């Protein structure tokens, strides 16, 4: 009788253990099914279906027109300051199952969904669709039009060409952290090829000498104009220190 009880008890414990293992496996499977789809760290693919609305950043017209160039620079700087590029990158990452950075999560969470349907695709932000190209492609389409070659101090230069590059660099350094970067690029300003950055930086330095020669009195022979040289040298040193030239 005792042996039977002992044998029966042994069978009971073994059965209970099996049941517990089975229940644990079932719970594990249920938890696994509830997990969202795995995310990746792949680069963003800036390619969209034809039915996805996009914005042509240069819809105002060709950039060889001063007004259009000014509009493009102003819009680009504004989008940096308002985190528009970052927000759209967060939207695209979410669509493509790419892991979001903490800043992207915060920006994406700040979007208001007036339809109250969490599964709706975001097509417009403030009635403006996503840009048709990544931010760094847009930038590299702008910067060649900022370059003045040759730079002659006695010529009258457009303000956007004299100041545009510096405005963009300042905005990138202040607001560009977190933007996606092309393969092999580690800093936001370095999405522009080194030779182009070098020329534009030198051009900005030469702004201190702009106007010399436009009138007979505007020369370095005039004592009141000699301060331009100091400003020119200071800017050269500044860009050498910050950009490694």
Q: Read off the pLDDT of each residue in 13-37 and give the average, rounded to a whole number.
A: 44
- Give residue-wise pLDDT tens across range 46-94: 999 999 999 999 998 999 999 999 999 999 999 999 999 999 999 999 9
Task: Note the pLDDT of residue 34.
Answer: 34
Kindly report the average pLDDT of the chain as a whole number.
Answer: 76
Does residue 53 or residue 112 have the better pLDDT? Answer: 53
CB 48 within 8 A of CB 42: no
pTM: 0.71
Task: Note the pLDDT of residue 124.
Answer: 93
């Amino acid at each position: 009788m005792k042996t039977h009880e002992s044998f029966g008890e042994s069978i009971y414990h073994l059965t209970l253990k099996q049941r517990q293992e089975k229940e644990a496996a079932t719970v594990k499977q249920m938890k696994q099914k509830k997990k969202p789809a795995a995310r990746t760290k792949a680069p963003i693919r800036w390619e969209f279906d034809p039915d996805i609305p996009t914005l042509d950043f240069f819809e105002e017209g060709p950039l060889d027109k001063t007004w259009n160039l000014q509009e493009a620079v102003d819009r680009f700087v504004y989008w940096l300051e308002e985190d528009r590029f970052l927000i759209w990158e967060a939207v695209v990452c979410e669509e493509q199952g790419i892991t979001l950075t903490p800043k992207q999560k915060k920006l994406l969470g700040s979007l208001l969904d007036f339809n109250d349907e969490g599964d709706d695709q975001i097509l417009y932000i403030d009635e403006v669709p996503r840009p048709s190209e990544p931010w760094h492609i847009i930038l590299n389409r702008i910067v060649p039009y900022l370059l003045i070659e040759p730079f002659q101090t006695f010529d009258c230069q457009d303000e956007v060409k004299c100041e545009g590059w510096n405005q963009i660099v300042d905005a990138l350094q202040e607001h560009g952290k977190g933007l996606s970067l092309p393969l092999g690029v580690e800093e936001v300003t370095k999405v522009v090829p080194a030779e182009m950055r070098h020329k534009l930086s030198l051009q900005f330095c030469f702004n201190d000498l702009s106007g010399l020669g436009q009138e007979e009195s505007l020369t370095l022979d005039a004592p009141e104009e000699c301060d331009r040289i100091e400003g020119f040298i200071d800017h050269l040193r500044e860009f050498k220190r910050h950009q490694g030239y």
